[in-house]
Amino acid sequence: MKYCRVAIALLSTIAAVAARAEDRLPTIPPAQYTEEQKQAAADFESARKVPVFGPFEPLMYSPQLMSAARAMGDYLRYKSAIGNTLSELVILMTARAWTQDYEWSFHYPIALKAGIRKQLADDIAVGRRPTAMSRDEETVFDFTSELLRNKQVSDATFERAKSRLGMKGVVDMTGIVGYYTFLAMQLNAARYPAGTDGKTLPRVPR
């Protein structure tokens, strides 16, 4: 009887893992695109110089939304007022907050290449406040942490961010948090597979 219970528990665990791994919105083969999807995919490739990938694949079920999301991402990821390095810090923090494995595995190497220290990124991965941050990194970390955790930002943190990054920087930083939260929600809802390296974020207490 004891071994039977163990076997049942093991099968339940396997089933749960399989369910989490399920891709609820499978990638649509380009040959099956509707006319609207074909146009959205063509616009995507024209803007990004690569075919539709990652979080934009489940979004292809709503090509209008996918195109709108891609256009917002074109600005927030590549041209925001806070620059690519700090943007990648915000993206990593957002991926961590949503335990979004694909988003994390995709942006982790990009963040390191953009100038985020490996130890800083690794601290974020395990839910630990990094040490030895620059003033700008600390400003962005505190603002993003409060926004993700408290759903608002204190006066002191807001004023510090405004002083360091300017009003446009504050707006763009908030936009990056919102945009990558949107993508993380879509990927989590779709149970989109983790990155090709197979790495997943450690599960940490909320």
pLDDT (average), residues 117-142 = 96
Q: For residues 88 and 137, what is the distance between their CA atoms, to the nearest angstrom?
A: 11
pLDDT (average), residues 153-158 = 98
Say which residues have a Cβ less than 8 Å from residue 92's Cβ, sequence separation at least 6: 104, 107, 108, 111, 116, 121, 124, 125
Nearest to 173 by CA among 130, 150, 141: 141
Q: For residues 98 and 204, what is the distance between their CA atoms, to the nearest angstrom?
A: 11
Q: pLDDT band at 9, cuts 50/70/90?
A: very low
**Residue 80 φ then ψ, to 5°:** -65, 160
pLDDT at 203: 75
Q: For residues 193 and 135, what is the distance between their CA atoms, to the nearest angstrom?
A: 36
pLDDT at 144: 98
The model's pLDDT over 61-98, given as tens digits with 9 standing for 90+, comes to 999 999 999 999 999 999 999 999 999 999 999 999 99
Tokens representing 81 are 């007022």
Q: CB of 60 within 8 A of CB of 69?
A: no
pLDDT at 184: 98
Domains of the chain: 2-76 (no CATH), 80-190 (1.20.1290.10)
- C-alpha distances in angstroms, 20 versus 23, 64, 85, 98, 166? 8, 27, 32, 15, 41
Taking 80 as the threshold, does the pLDDT of residue 101 lie above it? yes
Please state the pTM of the whole predicted model. 0.86
pLDDT (average), residues 10-26 = 53
Q: pLDDT band at 197, cuts 50/70/90?
A: low
Average pLDDT, the chain: 89
Q: Which of 6-20, 57-71, 170-184 has the lowest mean pLDDT?
A: 6-20
Number of Cβ within 10 Å of residue 165's Cβ equals: 21
Q: For residues 40 and 63, what is the distance between their CA atoms, to the nearest angstrom?
A: 6
